[in-house]
Amino acid sequence: MDQLEQIWQSDTEDQQSITYTVKVLSVGDVEDPDLYVGQHIWEWQETDEGKWIMKHSNPTPSWHRSVDRITYGYKYDIKAYLTPKQLTYFKLKFE
């Protein structure tokens, strides 16, 4: 899983935010992969894991599409932005 550390400026103190890939979805070679994967992303958002990520990620989670050269399809990564404590909780509870 990808990790990238960023420092966000805050009024009271510096807060560390970690970009973490919380879900990876694969899609075959379809005509409109964004439309096809939308349903699967929505279903994931309705799970306990997805609801927790949507509530605690700051800024809002984002999805990133890349070409999967092995299967000639697409890979979608859902990335969340969490503090170290939130990331530890997420890993212990959902992974």
Token pair in block for residue 90: 């997420």
Mean pLDDT score across all residues of the chain: 87
Mean per-residue pLDDT, 71-76: 93
CB-CB contact of 22 with 41 (8 Å): no
Per-residue pLDDT at 17: 86
* Tens-place pLDDT, residues 4-30: 555 555 544 456 789 999 999 999 988
Per-residue pLDDT at 8: 52
H or E stretch at 50: helix 48-56
Per-residue pLDDT at 11: 42
How far apart, in whole angstroms, are the C-alpha atoms of residue 77 and residue 34?
Answer: 12
How far apart, in whole angstroms, are the C-alpha atoms of residue 7 and residue 19?
Answer: 11
**Stated pTM of the model:** 0.79
